[in-house]
Each structure stands twice: as C-alpha cells, then as structure tokens.
Amino acid sequence: MTPADLEYAFAPVFENIENQSCVAQRFINRDHYQIYLATLWANLVMNPSEANLTEADLPALHDLLNSQLSRVLGPDNDLHSCFAFLNSKAGENAMQEAHLNQNHKDLLLYFASMILDPEGHKRWMEEIEDRT
C-alpha cells in the first residue's frame, strides 16, 4: 500500500481513537490515546494480514502512526515515546485506570521491551529459548 492508501484506510480508525480518547469536545486524554495507538501498533505488527496489510506495509504505517501521535499530542511524540510512557510508573497507572486486563498490559509491555531495548529484548528471548 502507498502511504496515501494507508492514510485513507486508517482515517476512520484514527478518528475513532480520537473520539474514544476525548474528555470534552476538543480535549484528548493523552494516556488513553497512547494506550489505543500502542495497542493498534502491537496488533498490526503481530498480524498485519488481519488489516489486509503485509509486513512490507509496516514501515510506512509506522511513519503514519508517528505522524498521528505528533499531530494529536505534539511534535515530541511518536511510538517510541508512547511505549516509553507505557513502560513508566505513570503508564502503569494509566493502564490500571483504563482497566486493561493482564494480557493487554503484558502485550503492551512486551512491545515496549522490543522498542525501548531491542538488544536486551533479544537477549531475554534467547534466554527463554535456551530454557525450552
């Protein structure tokens, strides 16, 4: 898919996420918005075909999600900062406040591990594989 195709295809998803994150007409709950975008990214990476995507579409989609985060939350926001937030005490509190179940939290923290410390994540995965 071209970046324009992705933007068109995901426009309703982004609109829905913004609407779900609104506290009042124009005020976004930053915590909820980051949880939703991180969840979207994790699910798309795990199974792109469910969204009629291929792995080759993921880099352009990553850029699109970064653009959305920057547009809604400000220029210093991207998927990396989103997962850094979720991996923090404030993110832990936000996930608890949002009543995420343990599997959902584990999914987001797993992706945070991959994004924030890829080498450490790789070592951790190798240790797990060695145990089995």
DSSP-assigned letter for residue 56: G
Mean pLDDT over residues 7-25, rounded? Answer: 93
pLDDT one-digit tens code per residue, 91-110: 999 999 999 999 999 999 98
pLDDT at 106: 92
DSSP-assigned letter for residue 22: E
> Would the pTM count as exceeding 0.85?
yes
pLDDT one-digit tens code per residue, 33-89: 999 999 999 999 999 999 999 999 999 999 999 999 999 999 999 999 999 999 999
The CA-atom distances, in angstroms, between 122 and each of 53, 62, 99 are 25, 21, 29
Mean pLDDT over residues 4-31, rounded? Answer: 93
> Range of 91's domain?
3-131
Residues 6+ apart with CB under 8 A from 21: 28, 29, 30, 32, 33, 36
pLDDT tops 80 at residue 121:
no
Which run of H or E residues covers position 28? strand 27-28
User: What's the domain count of the chain?
Assistant: 1
CA gap 25, 3 in Å, rounded: 29
